[in-house]
Amino acid sequence: MAEFAYNNNYQSSIRMASFEALYGRRCRSPLIKERLCAAQSRQKSYADRRRRDLKFEVGDHLFLKVSPTRGVLKFGIRGKLSPRYIGPYPILERIGEVACRLELPGNLTGVHDVFHVSLLRKYVPDPSHIINPEPIQLWDDLTYDEHLIHILDFKERIMRRRTISFIKVLLDNHSVEEATWELESKMR
C-alpha cells in the first residue's frame, strides 16, 4: 500500500505521478474509488444533519439575518447586544428556489430587497407577541404619575451596623413582571 501510494502521488520534480510517467496514464484502483465514495457519502451525511428544507410562500412573514459587519454598515445597528435577526417582513415574491423578495420598511431603502433563503427564518405568529398599550396620561414634559397599587413582598437586608427594609411594589401602568423593589423609607 505504501509503494502504491508513493507511485500515485504527484512528484514536483517530474511534475506528475511516477505511475503516470511510466505508463502514460493515471492509475485507477477500484479500492481507492470505493474509499472515495465511502468518504464522500460520510461527508454528505454529516452535512445533511444540519441541512433543513426551507420552503417559504408568498405572504409568509420572515426574519432577516443581520451579520455583524453588514449590520453596522447597512442596517445601522451596532454594538454587542444588537439583534441577529430583524423583522418580521412579508414575502412579496419568490425568485427561483433559493431567493425571496421581501417588503422592507422605508429606513432600509439602501438595502437590496432580494435575499437567499439561508439568511431568512420563518416567523411563527403568537398571540402573546401582540402588545395592546393602554393609554397613559402624559404631562407636557412627557412624564406621568405612578401610584402604588399593591405591595407584593417584603424583605430586610442586614448589613454590619444597620438593617435596610425593601418592599416589592406594583405600580399602575405596569404588569406584575415589572414590579420593583423599593426602599421602605422612600415608599412611606
Residue 114 lies in domain: 61-128
Residues 44 and 71 in one domain: no
C-alpha cell at 72: 453596522
Asked if the structure places residue 139 within a domain, the reply is no
Residue 126 C-alpha cell reads as 403568537
If asked whether residues 111 and 158 sit together in one domain, one would say no
Run of H or E including 146: none
- Across 10-36, average pLDDT: 82
pLDDT on residue 30: 65
- On whether residue 164 sits in a domain, the answer given is yes
Identify whether residues 44 and 69 lie together within a single domain: no
* Distance, CA of 77 to chain centre: 14
Total count of domains within the chain: 3
Residue 41 located in a structural domain: yes
Does some domain include residue 140? no
Question: How many CB atoms neighbour CB 62 within 10 A?
Answer: 22
Mean pLDDT, the chain, as a whole number?
Answer: 82
Whether 33 shows a pLDDT value over 50: the answer reads yes
Residues with Cβ within 8 Å of residue 91, at least 6 apart in sequence: 56, 57, 58, 59, 60, 61, 62, 100, 101, 102, 103
pLDDT digits (tens, 9 = 90+) for 110-154: 788 999 988 899 998 887 777 666 677 777 777 777 888 888 999
* pTM given for the model: 0.46
Residue 71 pLDDT grade (very low, low, confident, very high; cuts 50, 70, 90): very low
- Structural domain includes residue 143: no
